[in-house]
Amino acid sequence: MKFIKGQERSMQQILADAKAKNQIIFVDVYATWCGPCKWMDEHTFADARVVEKFNKQFVNFKVDGDTSEGQVVRNLYKVGAYPTYLFIAPEGKVLHRIEGVMPSQMLMDEADFAAKRATTN
């Protein structure tokens, strides 16, 4: 999956990008020591169906919660567990929040749910 990394851009820059593209932001808040986070990278985020859907529909942002930019995201969006996934509207409102390991189809279903929330709000 094509992720913009927290060390490359700030959350504020990602919000500006999403607003310019009129796209929802998908944020993966992870930690380098987190086993479930590694599983998601190796399995779900590597699935071709997930890659195609997320690269087309979302601005994907991956941030290590233990870094300074990760702390900003954790504080801003009240993240207390790894992994946490946030679907955020371009103006910064959280549309949907999920945590933990999930297979590809479940993540894609959650993404569809978030997209529907964006159109109804």
Joined tokens for residue 20: 């310019």
Examine the residue annotation and report whether 100 is marked as an active-site residue of this protein.
Answer: no
First-last CA distance in the chain: 27
Assign residue 56 a region (left: φ > 0; alpha: ψ between -120 and 50; beta: otherwise).
alpha
Examine the residue annotation and report whether 121 is marked as an active-site residue of this protein.
Answer: no
Joined tokens for residue 120: 């109804």
Instruction: Tell me which of 15, 34, 79, 88 is the catalytic residue.
Output: 34
Helix (H) or strand (E) holding 63: strand 58-64
Instruction: Tell me which of 1, 11, 37, 89 is the catalytic residue.
Output: 37
**Cα-based distances in Å from 66 to 39, 74, 94, 107, 114:** 18, 9, 21, 24, 26
Among all residues, which ones are annotated catalytic?
34, 37
